[in-house]
Chains A and B, each alone.
Chain A
């Protein structure tokens, strides 16, 4: 279920009484319904599914998640090599 893709809100407008916006997905632009994110504004990133913005992406949290990943295994590196070779497909 549920292919949803992050995009950046370029503009906000009204159409048929619904809050809409132009959202850029890496340069590809589509009209997206913003009715479910009343607080989202131009410049924000959102997750879009079938033409609807469903959640505002929290940048600070995203960076924190990536930092957590980067810090993984640092302890092992200090005390010696990790027990298994990483990443290699069998």
Chain B
């Protein structure tokens, strides 16, 4: 027995070559450590993460702190234009950005389903890292758990984000005033339609890709050009319709938009016709809605159009003192309709 040193003993199974996630990857033991060492650390590389403490410790920041968290579930995990990884980074970066915060640090929690190919996880993590670099944020701490097969959808990701809000800046959905202009940063509905195009039972061929993108750079340009912006929101689930209804409700104002002013890609529009959807209710992942005083609207839109993520920015409507709490759209033929808050998931309809 004296010749056996347990520290040098190696398992005959090539653990690192597991092609799929197994329960042990979330067990806190050697498999977990390998995942951290070979997957997460090289991808997310930064000092705070490298310390591998129970908490990431970061330098003090100037301004008020903004904190947000979001859970990401999407099927399929990979879709035209992105995957759950970049979605999880951009979504949290955008929640901070539209709150007026400069995004600084993210955390990442993974719930993996037994059987997920490690190559897929590697791809998701690589794309998260790329998205974090593009947004200029660091992923400083994280956690991984594994659930049994059948108890998850491959991979769920939760990210939390910390950002700093400069003194003197306040944005909020309750700040819209009658007369204000309503601005959208670009073509709407791309993310939701891209996901639907690859959903089982609905598949259709299209060039539409998700618009997932970090908006903090665009927001910087907007606030520099127009410090008086009153409201910014990113219209994700529920689409622009849900966001406008929220602003109308919280600000106790009416909102009137003109459908002819809405930027919509032709194929998104066509897919909406085919499935009977309202593009206003389809999800976006790289767009924002802003409300500004009327005198600032042109300057704001001009500044947004200078930025690649705001190239198709447009004024889509105005805030009104009529019909408080409601959103009304002027239609292409000159009629008017109420844009309601979507009840739930968007479903294709036959009638």
**Which A residues are within 8 Å of any B CB, using their own CB?**
1-3, 5, 22, 25-30, 49-50, 87-89
Contact = CB atoms under 8 A, between A and B. Distances in A.
A76 B267 CA distance: 40
Contacts of A88: 334
Interface in B261-286: 266-267, 269-271, 273-274, 276
Given A89-B334, A89-B335, A89-B336, A26 B350 contact: no
B11 interface: no
A27 B349 CA distance: 20
Given A28-B204, A28-B270, 9 more contacts: A3-B350, A3-B351, A25-B274, A26-B270, A27-B266, A27-B267, A28-B208, A28-B274, A87-B334
B266 A5 contact: no
B205 interface: yes
Interface class of chain A by DSSP: loop
Nearest to A3: B276
Given A29-B206, A30-B274, A89-B334, A2 B350 contact: yes
Nearest to B334: A87
Contacts of B270: 25-28
B273 A26 contact: yes
B351 A1 contact: yes
Nearest to A48: B274
Nearest to B349: A3
B168 to A, nearest CB: 42
B27 to A, nearest CB: 46
B228 to A, nearest CB: 32
B13 interface: no
B207 interface: yes
Interface of B: 197, 204-208, 266-267, 269-271, 273-274, 276, 334-336, 349-351
Contacts of B269: 26
Nearest to B348: A3
A28 B205 contact: yes
A28 B267 CA distance: 6
Contacts of B349: 3
B351 A29 contact: no
B301 to A, nearest CB: 26
Contact of A30 (B204, B208, B273): B204
Given A2-B350, A3-B349, A27 B334 contact: no
Most B C-beta atoms less than 10 A away, residue of A1, A22, A26: A26
A85 B335 CA distance: 15
A50 to B, nearest CB: 6
Contact of B350 (A22, A27, A49): A49
B206 A27 contact: yes
A27 B207 contact: yes
Contacts of B336: 89
B205 A29 contact: yes
Contacts of A1: 350-351
Nearest to B267: A27
A15 B160 CA distance: 49
A26 B350 CA distance: 19
Contact of B274 (A2, A5, A89): A5
A50 B350 contact: yes
26 contacts: A1-B350, A2-B351, A3-B276, A3-B349, A3-B350, A5-B274, A25-B274, A26-B269, A27-B207, A27-B266, A27-B267, A28-B197, A28-B204, A28-B205, A28-B208, A28-B267, A28-B270, A28-B271, A28-B274, A29-B204, A29-B205, A30-B204, A30-B205, A87-B334, A88-B334, A89-B336
Contacts of B205: 22, 28-30
B180 to A, nearest CB: 22
B248 to A, nearest CB: 19
A50 B202 CA distance: 11
10 nearest A-B pairs in the assembled complex, by CB-CB distance: A26-B270, A29-B205, A1-B351, A27-B267, A28-B270, A3-B276, A30-B204, A28-B206, A28-B271, A87-B334
